[in-house]
A = this chain, B = another copy of it.
Amino acid sequence: MGARELGLPAKTPAEGFPDRVTIWEVGPRDGLQNEKEIVPVEVKLEFLDRLADAGLTTLEATSFVHPKWVPQLADAEQLLEGLKQRDGVRYPVLVPNERGLDRAFAAGVKHIAIFASATETFAQRNLNSTLDTQFGMFEPVVSRATEGDIEVRGYLSMCFGDPWEGPVPASQVVAAGKRLLDMGCSQLSLGDTIGVATAGQVEAVLGGFTAAGVPMSALAVHFHDTYGQALANTLVALRCGVSTVDSSAGGLGGCPYAESATGNLATEDLVWTLDGLGIEHGADLDKLVETSAWMAGKLGRPSASRVVNALAR
Which A residues lie at the B interface, using CB under 8 A?
Answer: 2-3, 6-14, 160-161, 163-167, 194-201, 203-204, 225-229, 231-232, 234-236, 259-260, 262, 266, 269, 272-273, 275-278, 305-307, 309-311, 313
Shortest CB distance A307–B (Å): 5
Once the chains bind, are B228 and A272 in contact (CB under 8 Å)? Answer: yes
Once the chains bind, are B8 and A196 in contact (CB under 8 Å)? Answer: yes
Could you list some 20 contacts between A and B, CB below 8 A?
A3-B196, A8-B167, A9-B160, A10-B198, A12-B167, A14-B199, A14-B236, A195-B306, A196-B276, A198-B272, A198-B276, A199-B276, A200-B276, A227-B306, A227-B307, A228-B269, A228-B272, A232-B232, A260-B313, A262-B309
Once the chains bind, are B197 and A276 in contact (CB under 8 Å)? Answer: yes
Once the chains bind, are A14 and B306 in contact (CB under 8 Å)? Answer: no
Q: In whole angstroms, what is the CA distance A266 to B306 when docked?
A: 14
Q: Which residue of B lies closest to A7 (CB)?
A: B166
**Beyond A9-B227, A228-B272, A259-B313: 11 further Cβ-contacts under 8 Å?**
A3-B161, A6-B161, A6-B164, A7-B167, A8-B167, A9-B197, A10-B166, A12-B200, A13-B200, A14-B200, A260-B311
Once the chains bind, are B228 and A2 in contact (CB under 8 Å)? Answer: no
Q: Within 8 Å CB of A195, what residues of B?
A: 306, 310
Shortest CB distance A15–B (Å): 8
Most buried by B among A12, A225, A305: A12
Q: In whole angstroms, what is the CA distance A235 to B200 when docked?
A: 11
Q: In whole angstroms, what is the CA distance A53 to B129 when docked?
A: 46
Q: In whole angstroms, what is the CA distance A7 to B161 when docked?
A: 10
Q: Within 8 Å CB of A3, what residues of B?
A: 161, 163, 194, 196, 226, 260
Once the chains bind, are B306 and A276 in contact (CB under 8 Å)? Answer: no
Known: A231-B229, A260-B2, A306-B262. A10 touches B167 (CB 8 A): yes
Shortest CB distance A59–B (Å): 22
Known: A198-B277, A278-B200. A227 touches B12 (CB 8 A): no
Q: Which of B196, B200, B229, B306 is the one whose CB lies under 8 Å from A226? A: B306
Q: In whole angstroms, what is the CA distance A234 to B14 when docked?
A: 15
Q: Within 8 Å CB of A276, what residues of B?
A: 196-201, 229
Once the chains bind, are B204 and A12 in contact (CB under 8 Å)? Answer: yes
